[in-house]
């Protein structure tokens, strides 16, 4: 035994300079193998490839085998297999990154997109950026729509009562679709005072029916009209000799049409100021009877046939026909027939003109306040 032990020691017990000889195996009492030379027998070695005595972070794990240098390998609060000191995703699994942007899902501020891409530098990743070209955090009107993409900067973009995709605060027509414009006049139908008329056409009265008594009401576009006569109002089923009038006036030939057979005083009144109203008279007088129609304002004869006399405020006919305007802004017009006859027809309307005396963009015949650009008279 002594010779074998001597031989064993001769073969493997010569230590390197500066290193201690491994202790004997405590079980056998013999010297043991120490592959990493840390004086700890391989069988008892906690870190087979390094010095068990070196533990810089004092976590009980030798440095060479330490998976958490600088921290305690045993501390893994979120249980993801990554120690707290090296955990890039505290509270979540470091290995889960559904969008592959290098940021774990638990800390991902841009799920489905790359957290690092932020073209407008507003702190909101591009994939979630409400307003890609402006700062999403700026919202002066507090409507949750960033200023840079705000349709209505001074109002709530989310409130759209009429469902036309234009916020109420910026809606030209908040009770109607801003797109629908049947007459093509640039004013949405829902807010169009003359929804069926273009300023390039004539607009004529439609009387309410039935017509009885000495007052009848009606409308021209959105303008209310009342006609009052000193005698009971009569009507006919059409305009007498309607074909005489030039087609360009588009004078309606409808039932009922007002007619007059007596000496009368008459007043046309309007529910708002009107500009240059148009009056049409058919069959004034007859060949044997001249009838004069006088007005309380100066008139302008636009077209006539068989008038015998005209003055600044009257027309006389013996089976005469005329289209006149009463220039200016009016809330009512008074006129009278001075002689009784079989009958003369009367039609009222507005001229087909784009005139806009107050410059507010609305043709006068559809303007609620034709002399006030702010329409403050309503």
CA 307 to chain centre: 57
- List the single range of 25-29, 49-53, 222-226, 338-342 with lowest mean pLDDT: 25-29
> Which overall architecture, per CATH, does domain 203-350 show?
Sandwich (2.60)
Percent of the chain whose predicted confidence (pLDDT) is above 70: 75
Q: Is the confidence at residue 72, as pLDDT, over 80? A: no
- The DSSP symbol for 268 reads E
Rounded distance, CA 155 to CA 151, Å?
9
Tell me the pLDDT tens digit for each residue of 184-226. 656 677 766 556 555 456 789 999 999 999 999 999 887 899 9
Give the CA distances from residue 146 to residues 114, 132, 157, 165, 272, in Å, rounded to whole numbers and listed in that order. Answer: 21, 10, 10, 17, 43
Count Cα neighbours of 336 within 13 Å in the Cβ-side half-sphere.
7
Rounded distance, CA 12 to CA 120, Å?
70
- List the single range of 253-257, 298-302, 363-367 with lowest mean pLDDT: 363-367
Please give the structure tokens belonging to residue 197.
């008329």
Q: Is the confidence at residue 128, as pLDDT, over 50? A: yes
Domain map (residue ranges) of the chain? 203-350
Tell me the pLDDT tens digit for each residue of 260-281. 999 999 999 998 888 889 999 9
- List the single range of 4-8, 24-28, 175-179, 344-348 with lowest mean pLDDT: 4-8
Give the CA distances from residue 253 to residues 217, 225, 236, 279, 280, in Å, rounded to whole numbers and listed in that order. Answer: 18, 19, 10, 14, 12
Q: Is the confidence at residue 12, as pLDDT, over 50? A: no
pLDDT of residue 34: 67
- pTM here is 0.46
pLDDT of residue 2: 34
- Please state the rounded mean pLDDT for residues 90-117: 73
Rounded distance, CA 298 to CA 284, Å?
19
Tell me the pLDDT tens digit for each residue of 336-359. 999 999 999 999 987 655 557 778
Task: State the DSSP string of 181-203.
Answer: -TT-SSS-GGG-SSTT--TTS-E
Buried b / exposed e along 238-266 (16+ C-beta atoms within 10 A): ebbebeebeeebebbeeebbbbbeeebeb
pLDDT of residue 16: 43
Question: Which of the pair, 336 or 82, is modelled with greater confidence?
Answer: 336
- How many other CB atoms are there within 10 angstroms of residue 226's CB atom? 15
Report the range out of 31-40, 127-136, 174-183, 339-348 with the highest average pLDDT: 339-348
Q: Is the confidence at residue 80, as pLDDT, over 60? A: yes
Residue 171, classified by CB atoms within 10 Å of its CB into exposed (0-12), middle (13-18) or buried (19+), is: buried
Please give the structure tokens belonging to residue 143.
């409507």
Please give the structure tokens belonging to residue 373.
């650009």
């Amino acid at each position: 035994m002594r010779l074998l032990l001597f031989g064993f020691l001769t073969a493997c017990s010569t230590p390197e300079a500066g290193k201690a000889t491994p202790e004997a195996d405590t079980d056998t009492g013999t010297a043991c193998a120490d592959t990493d030379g840390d004086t700890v027998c391989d069988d008892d070695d906690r870190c087979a490839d390094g010095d068990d005595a070196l533990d810089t972070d004092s976590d009980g794990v030798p440095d060479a085998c330490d998976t958490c240098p600088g921290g305690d390998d045993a501390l893994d609060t979120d249980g993801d297999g990554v120690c707290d000191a090296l955990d890039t995703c505290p509270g979540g699994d470091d290995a889960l990154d559904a969008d592959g942007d290098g940021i774990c899902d638990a800390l991902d501020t841009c799920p489905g997109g790359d957290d690092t891409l932020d073209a407008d530098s507003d702190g909101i990743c591009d994939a979630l950026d409400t307003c890609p070209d402006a700062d999403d955090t700026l919202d002066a009107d507090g409507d949750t729509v960033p200023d840079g993409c705000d349709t209505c900067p001074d109002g709530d973009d989310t409130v759209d009562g009429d469902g036309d995709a234009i916020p109420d605060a910026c809606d030209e027509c908040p009770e109607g679709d801003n797109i629908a414009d049947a007459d093509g006049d640039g004013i949405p139908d829902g807010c169009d005072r003359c929804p069926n008329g273009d300023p390039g056409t004539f607009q004529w009265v439609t009387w309410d029916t039935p017509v009885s008594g000495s007052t009848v009401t009606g409308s021209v576009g959105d303008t209310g009209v009342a006609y009052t006569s000193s005698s009971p109002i009569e009507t006919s089923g059409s305009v007498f000799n309607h074909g005489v009038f030039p087609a360009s006036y588009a004078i309606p030939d409808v039932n009922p049409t007002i007619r007059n057979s007596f000496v009368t005083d008459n007043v046309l009144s309007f529910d708002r100021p009107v500009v240059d109203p148009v009056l049409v008279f058919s069959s004034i007088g007859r060949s044997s009877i001249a009838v004069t129609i006088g007005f309380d304002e100066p008139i302008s004869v636009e077209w006539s046939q068989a008038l015998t006399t005209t003055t600044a405020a009257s027309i006389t006919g013996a089976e005469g026909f005329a289209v006149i305007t009463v220039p200016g802004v009016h809330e009512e017009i008074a006129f009278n027939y001075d002689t009784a006859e079989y009958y003369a027809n009367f039609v009222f309307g507005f001229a087909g003109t784009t005139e806009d005396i107050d410059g507010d963009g609305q043709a006068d015949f559809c303007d609620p306040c034709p002399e006030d650009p702010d329409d403050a008279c309503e």
